[in-house]
A and B are shown apart, each in its own frame.
Chain A
Amino acid sequence: NAGVIQTPRHKVTGKGQEATLWCEPISGHSAVFWYRQTIVQGLEFLTYFRNQAPIDDSGMPKERFSAQMPNQSHSTLKIQSTQPQDSAVYLCASSLGQGSNSDYTFGSGTRLLVI
């Protein structure tokens, strides 16, 4: 079990460019989550999918950010027209379900730097 796989580990983009981050959840896990982590804001929830369907995107900035889960083996987070304030570590997690016993398995994250 390789765990949750996130690629790339590091990404540097120029201001205004697009960034796509990839996540491969653990096989058999029905829920996939995206978080953003910065020193100031901590670990912020962005969005999540259950059985590939979008369930809650309340944490997503309304403009420029979008997430998809085209199949059960991967999810993408896309940031259009990146800005320096988008610089952060983006973490993906998956869980077997959403019950009180369900813990999250996180990937190691993608460190995005917008210059």
Chain B
Amino acid sequence: SQWGEENLQALSIQEGEDVTMNCSYKTYTTVVQWYRQKSGKGPALIILIRSNEREKRSGRLRATLDTSSQSSSLSITGTLATDTAVYFCAPYQGGRALIFGTGTTVSVSP
């Protein structure tokens, strides 16, 4: 079983559209990290949200965290072709290694 499960596996959108992807996880956490993986590269952290933040913004990215429903979301506004990637959520689980799951593939057409 995976700690974090992205709810939607693949999305195809046009440049300029907004996109939201969701993640639910099995065990209580106070921190969720979101990673982006571009083709041929390893995943890279794009935003980290803590339970006391409820919402966190970084440029065109917006993350939310709901500890009561054990879920997190990541939104990208005004998508660009360069946002094409696989997105992973990774709930923090103490000293254990992060578990990433299958991710959500986002394809943005110019």
Residues of A participating in the B interface, judged by any CB pair closer than 8 Å = 4, 33, 35, 41-43, 45, 48, 55-56, 91, 93, 98, 100-101, 103-109
> Given known contacts A4-B42, A106-B44, A108-B41, is B100 in contact with A48 (CB within 8 Å)?
no
Q: Is B110 an interface residue (CB 8 A)?
A: no
What per-residue 1/0 map shows which CB atoms of B60-103 lie under 8 Å from chain A?
Answer: 00000000000000000000000000001000100111111111
In terms of DSSP, what is the predominant structure of the interface of chain B? loop
> Given known contacts A100-B31, A108-B42, is B48 in contact with A41 (CB within 8 Å)?
no
Query: In the complex the two chains form, what is the Cα distance from A91 to B41 in whole Å?
Result: 9
Q: Is B30 an interface residue (CB 8 A)?
A: yes
Q: Is B22 an interface residue (CB 8 A)?
A: no
Q: Is the CB of B48 within 8 A of A43?
A: no
How far, in Å, is B52 (CB) from chain A's closest CB?
12
How far, in Å, is A29 (CB) from chain B's closest CB?
14
Query: In the complex the two chains form, what is the Cα distance from A108 to B101 in whole Å?
Result: 18
> Would you list 29 pairs from A and B whose C-beta atoms are within 8 A, ordered by A residue?
A4-B42, A33-B97, A33-B98, A41-B102, A42-B101, A42-B102, A43-B100, A43-B101, A43-B103, A45-B97, A48-B97, A56-B96, A56-B97, A91-B43, A93-B42, A98-B95, A100-B31, A100-B92, A101-B48, A103-B33, A103-B45, A103-B48, A104-B98, A105-B44, A106-B41, A106-B42, A106-B43, A108-B40, A109-B41
Residues of B participating in the A interface, judged by any CB pair closer than 8 Å = 2, 30-31, 33, 35, 40-45, 48, 50, 88, 92, 95-103
In terms of DSSP, what is the predominant structure of the interface of chain A? strand
Q: Is the CB of A45 within 8 A of B95?
A: no
> Given known contacts A56-B96, A100-B92, is B42 in contact with A107 (CB within 8 Å)?
yes
